[in-house]
Structure 1
């Protein structure tokens, strides 16, 4: 029997704010445990939450980019449950009034483009982080209260590959907006997937399982593929899939049971009495939306329409916002867009990787790279010389100064070149004879002799042309 996979994804994404969702404590990653926390985060009696305006702004940006309908009434609710990582005994979230409803993300699949619908997007606070060992459990409250958005998809995803494409596309959008660091390895973006199977052609959902806390895009696909295979094996053996929460084990490449679910948990949601409903000003929402950063799809389209880049080059640039921003600065000073893309994608990236330098710390100035490209196009330096100049501009040097210091400026003066060419021809009569006998490689030899005589400064293309003209005269 053939089966259809049904997948829905819940993504928790930490917002890039300086302080927490409802307190003035700083947000952090990697700080000493329990040093970025205050009384509100710890749920001390008598403390009151205060909504972080910047978190709301970032949530509006995200909701707009996902084409959600924005609710101008901001209301928060209490989700009541007790875990040791939740000091208040409840989590402040948006159950009844999510800031965004509806929406869509378009992904690329082997069958073409596909729309994945967004059910809702809401704001909430993060929980503390627990560290389990045989000796007991340690808790770091630094993460408690960190602003989150939770983005819930509709069950429109049909494979692990589609799920990975969806998460990657969402990650890219939030990254470009500056809404979040989206560093899955640091937990600033976490992914839970709901997976079920059903006979192909059926319109009834099967029993779903939830795979929690996937920490990389590759693991999203691997976990789904493993869970689908497990469920198919259960069904084909005549047994029944049990609703449960599972995790992905990278070592065994399988999903492991965490806990069974007998039914939906009743969290006893009710409006948080300490946070007054906030009516957002329409003009403020419009201002946020009108000043949005260019999104990845828009940037790729611009690269292809304005600069004539192919799919591959545009994709590589757009995948790294800092690299893409650097390219945008380079093309302000040169019209050779293809060559600029090649230098940025290949040479700049290789040089930065070799020196272990991040793109944001790139010592090469965009105008310097553009000037070097223009010098090659004008015939002022050769492509071989450009490699030497590039090494220097990656140290922050001006290419014009480098060319001057190294005496690299290419000879493009016809009379000066002819003087050298005449001497070379006079000294190599055998090459002239070889050329007349149809041996084309003689021209290459003569060009090499001119380059040697000019200390590499002769314009190669012009030299080749002038040599052939002079040979024709002899």
Structure 2
């Protein structure tokens, strides 16, 4: 493919579907648990049997409002659901219940940060709808099988304005959105299991043009990396078509993650093709101010707010603050740990170092970590008190503590003879012996080779098997070398 992107501008709008963290479906009590045997989480309502009536899920409505408030949206108080009519095998009713003219959340924005700088991505809307089932094409040689377990699962669809101008911005936006839904507890953000999916609307135009080009929609991108890959491929394909004088059709396409290409599924339908009309079985519903206030009060401190606090109040570097707040559970753990120590940087170092290494090594999350936050604070205190070095604490005591989580770190250090030697009367004979043996290096030090100090300290550490207090050792050696 040619590379003429510098002559063109890419225009991207994203539609992200997020499965809401409820126990049951949007309009009935069937479970939405992932991984069940096909067609076991279904009832007459899910299967749209005649005479069955839907009933709204209050928790799903609350989750949608919470997401809207976190995204700076205006909450629509007067709502109703509409029928979106189209036939597909995994849609039991022959229509989908969605919101059309009254999305529950309007406008708003999501701030992102890329190498190019900070930018607010404007939202058009956030609306609620039910999910369809799942067509399976590889379980039967001659027929397509359908699993209706997912049908009726509550979703929110978060629709941006065409504000994104690169795959990097799209990557940053979806990353920020996934972090946000997890912080709020409205969705687990698991793209691999399909609980968060992204459709990308991509068009290109010559730089300086105001009119939008013809867009194509790439459906059901199941990872943030694939969002970026699909946009890069599709933008270049559209540019190549324009360069070759071809006409771009409005299409729905899919992405082949194996070879990194897109392929056409169908020509794109417009809204009028769905024949929306209000669902007669669901009454309109009004949202009260008290209900919205209650939800607003339940929103936790979000990543940007926490980063600001960590940098200003706890004096952490921005990098530390960003990594600590990447997952809400890690930030919660850090904040619990610093209830027991004021050495904020040391607590951050433990989480970003030994604890993170443990999680990576065992493919676990902070929720699986056995040590309590106060035990990490106790490790910090051991180092601060000079009982042992960070090196010894992180490489030896930390692993002993994981095996003996009920024993206090200071006691465990004593039991295993890890306590540093900081008594001058114990250290001086070792230091004297080192300086006597390295008399030629001492002479060189006194002539100006100050870097040899590290050699003397290192030799003392070696002779004490790492138990000498480096700070105290340094002080004594410097005094003797005067």
Q: TM-score over 0.5 for the alignment? A: yes
Contact 2:430/2:463 (8 A) holds in 1: no
Q: Match for residue 463 of structure 1?
A: 473
Separation in 2, partners of 1:286, 1:89:
37
Q: Match for residue 78 of structure 1?
A: 83
Q: Match for residue 413 of structure 2?
A: 403
Q: Which runs of structure 2 are paired with 1:178-197 in the superposition (5 Å)?
A: 178-197=185-204
Shift of the 132–422 alpha-carbon distance from structure 1 to 2, 3 Å rule, reads closer
Separation in 2, partners of 1:442, 1:4:
59
SS at match of 1:143: coil
1:306 has 2:313 as partner: yes
Shift of the 424–128 alpha-carbon distance from structure 1 to 2, 3 Å rule, reads closer
Deviations 1:233-255 (A, max 9, x none): 11111110011111111233221
Shift of the 398–85 alpha-carbon distance from structure 1 to 2, 3 Å rule, reads same
1:127 aligns with one of 132, 149, 152 = 132
1:16 aligns with one of 21, 37, 42 = 21
Separation in 1, partners of 2:316, 2:435:
45
Separation in 2, partners of 1:140, 1:176:
30
1:388 aligns with one of 392, 396, 402 = 396
Contact 1:23/1:40 (8 A) holds in 2: yes
Contact 2:434/2:456 (8 A) holds in 1: no
Q: Match for residue 322 of structure 1?
A: 329
Separation in 2, partners of 1:19, 1:468:
70
Contact 1:420/1:453 (8 A) holds in 2: no
Separation in 1, partners of 2:329, 2:269:
47
Separation in 2, partners of 1:19, 1:336:
44
1:164 is displaced (CA, Å) by 1.4
Separation in 1, partners of 2:465, 2:53:
77
Contact 2:17/2:158 (8 A) holds in 1: yes
Shift of the 295–441 alpha-carbon distance from structure 1 to 2, 3 Å rule, reads closer
Q: Match for residue 34 of structure 2?
A: 29
Separation in 2, partners of 1:346, 1:166:
28
1:253 has 2:260 as partner: yes
Q: Match for residue 116 of structure 2?
A: 111
Contact 1:418/1:466 (8 A) holds in 2: no
SS at match of 2:445: coil
1:445 is displaced (CA, Å) by 6.4
Indicate the larger mover: 9-18 or 343-352: 343-352
Indicate the larger mover: 53-62 or 429-438: 429-438
Contact 2:174/2:224 (8 A) holds in 1: yes
Separation in 2, partners of 1:222, 1:65:
28
Contact 1:120/1:153 (8 A) holds in 2: yes
Shift of the 454–113 alpha-carbon distance from structure 1 to 2, 3 Å rule, reads closer
**Alignment RMSD:** 2.2
Deviations 1:70-125 (A, max 9, x none): 01223111111111111111111111211001111111133311111100111111
Contact 2:431/2:477 (8 A) holds in 1: no
Q: Which runs of structure 2 are paired with 1:330-341 in the superposition (5 Å)?
A: 330-341=337-348
1:89 has 2:94 as partner: yes
Deviations 1:235-291 (A, max 9, x none): 111110011111111233221111123755522211111111222221111011022
SS at match of 1:57: helix
Q: Match for residue 228 of structure 1?
A: 235
Q: How many residues get paired? A: 469
SS at match of 1:115: strand
2:361 aligns with one of 328, 348, 354 = 354
Q: Match for residue 376 of structure 1?
A: 383
Shift of the 444–266 alpha-carbon distance from structure 1 to 2, 3 Å rule, reads closer
1:329 is displaced (CA, Å) by 1.6
State the TM-score, normalized to the length of structure 2.
0.91
Unaligned runs of 5+ in 2: none
Contact 2:96/2:129 (8 A) holds in 1: yes
1:162 has 2:169 as partner: yes
Indicate the larger mover: 446-455 or 24-33: 446-455
Indicate the larger mover: 81-90 or 402-411: 402-411
1:452 is displaced (CA, Å) by 6.3
Indicate the larger mover: 448-457 or 242-251: 448-457
1:380 is displaced (CA, Å) by 1.3
SS at match of 1:184: coil
Unaligned runs of 5+ in 1: none
State the TM-score, normalized to the length of structure 1.
0.93
SS at match of 1:438: helix
SS at match of 1:389: helix
Q: Match for residue 147 of structure 1?
A: 154
